[in-house]
Amino acid sequence: MAEVHHGRGYVYSIQYHIVWCVKYRHKLLCGQIDEDLQVLLRKIAEDKKITILEMESDKDHIHLLIDCKPQHYIPDVVKALKGVSARSLFKQHPELKKRLWGGHLWNPSYFVATVSENTEEQIRRYIQNQKQK
């Protein structure tokens, strides 16, 4: 069940399911790269005061279920998650640049959907089962 938060003069519960892919759908999110990515995304989210409720990748894409405030503008949230993680991963794993000749880790597009209390558990299970397909 989604947590209800209280702000100054408002009450909210906002969750998003976000998905984005590796450029050219290269299957790069494995092993240490995947582990480093998840640590980076949690750090970025913490810095932006966003809570990652669920996160899992499947070689060429990543799924997040996040909880955020009404003040968060979702395109800026995604831009921060993708941009900072890409720069950091290229520094930590210079071999990635050899596979991605354009210098971009992520495909420029992404998927985002709001999550209701009726769909939250279903989306959580879907994200948790990404590697089990």
Per-residue pLDDT of the chain (133 residues; tens, 9 = 90+): 678 999 889 999 999 999 999 999 999 999 999 999 999 999 999 999 999 999 999 999 999 999 999 999 999 999 999 999 999 999 999 999 888 877 899 999 999 999 988 899 999 999 999 987 6
User: Which one from 12, 24, 73, 126 is the annotated catalytic residue?
Assistant: 126
Is position 126 annotated as part of the catalytic site?
yes
3-state secondary structure of 106: strand
CATH 3.40.640.10 fits 5-132, yes or no: no
Q: What is the largest CA-CA distance in the chain?
A: 51
Looking at residue 28, the DSSP 8-state letter turns out to be: -
pTM of structure: 0.92
- Structural domain boundaries of the chain? 5-132
Report how many helices (DSSP H) and strands (DSSP E) the chain contains, helices first: 4, 6
